[in-house]
A and B are shown apart, each in its own frame.
Chain A
């Protein structure tokens, strides 16, 4: 490990950025408390709609939920990025090294949530993990957990469905990552890893300890990441909530009970299949799904759909295809899909 003293710039922790962050947080809380009043005033006073009308219901939902979800997203991404600044893939690898399967899978799933990771780095991460002796099953637990438990989905679930369902989603996502990794580990998947992976020589060293961000760095970085992600997803949020608002106002109560309710056994697998092409669009999908649930869709079906949207993403499969043979990709997709379907049925059975 290198100790590269001069690499750290002479920085002093200032008070300006932390004070700015605190001020923003106070402003956020004040605004948050006024959102419903603001939406009501806009809908009924400014636009002049009559309470109880279909149109009024839709417009009110839209005007309340768009700012609410965008504010939640901003706060959530900011906080998650701060938390992630205390982790790195290198540290995660060190923590996972030498862990047995089982404990390793649990730890990998948990670390998958807090480790900063972009699917564009999936290939070096995968090779770096398996070449240093981390079992494949454990590596898969990590790879399943990172997209399933994603902060955009969590923030939107929390905003629209409340903390119970957001929590349920988080716990189920972790369970799927742990069990999926354990099962894949049992299937002797080493033979389905592309041969070149085992030939690559991973260099020595690395820079596990060189970068030590100050709080100013963390805050600045979190602000940048938040701007980037919110800047990318906000159109989907607005469109999703607009569609959701339309459904809420105009689709009759329990309209979907027959096709997406508890009795329709095939609705869970159908939801999973439907979710695959909608990858990485949790932001637009969740408000629509919320509206569907209000109209009679079952919770398990809805959860299965959301997990399928985030967990089974085509681009990530293509990236992983570079290191995994098609066989293992199929096994990976199959196990995750089955796990999601079972989760859907379980919730449909338990929660009514």
Chain B
């Protein structure tokens, strides 16, 4: 199962990113756990300088911008393939 984390505390774009991530997961029809990381220590553990950040299976894929749903879908597919290969 994929683990998706949205990094950021209270910025307007964090909510938008979470919505796009949910939409991408639903669109792919995969199982995924979507978490929000709002504490600063948690955010910094991914070395993020600007929020919102997006982490898929512990790998930071985007920070400081709002990726499109299509981009997120690509990342999710990549992570799924890596999971199956591993």
Cα of A121 to Cα of B65 in the assembled complex, Å: 11
Q: Please report the total number of A residues contacting B with Cβ < 8 Å.
A: 34
Q: A7-B78, A121-B51, A127-B44 are in contact. Are A207 and B61 (CB under 8 A)?
A: yes
User: With an 8 A cutoff between CB atoms, is B32 at the interface?
Assistant: no
Q: When each residue 21-44 of chain B gets 1 if its CB lies under 8 Å from chain A and 0 otherwise, what string results?
A: 000000000000000000011011
Main secondary structure of the interface of B (DSSP, over half): mixed
Assess whether A120 is interfacial by the CB under 8 Å rule: yes
Q: CB-CB < 8 A to B74: which residues of A?
A: 6-7, 9
| Given A118-B50, A121-B49, A121-B50: A207 in contact with B44 (beta carbons within 8 A) | no
A115 to nearest B CB, angstroms?
9
Is B11 located at the chain interface by the 8 A CB criterion? yes
Query: What is the bound-complex CA distance between A6 and B51, given in angstroms?
Result: 23
Name the one of B45, B49, B60 contacting A89, with C-beta atoms under 8 angstroms: B49
A90 B78 Cβ-Cβ under 8 A: no
> Most B CB atoms within 10 A — which of A117, A121, A200?
A121
Can you give 21 A-B contacts (C-beta < 8 A)? A4-B59, A4-B78, A6-B77, A7-B61, A118-B11, A120-B10, A120-B12, A124-B51, A125-B49, A128-B47, A202-B44, A202-B45, A203-B44, A203-B45, A203-B47, A204-B47, A205-B47, A207-B62, A207-B63, A211-B65, A221-B65
> Interface on A for B, CB 8 Å cutoff?
2, 4, 6-7, 9, 88-90, 93, 116-118, 120-121, 123-125, 127-129, 131, 196, 200-207, 210-211, 221, 322
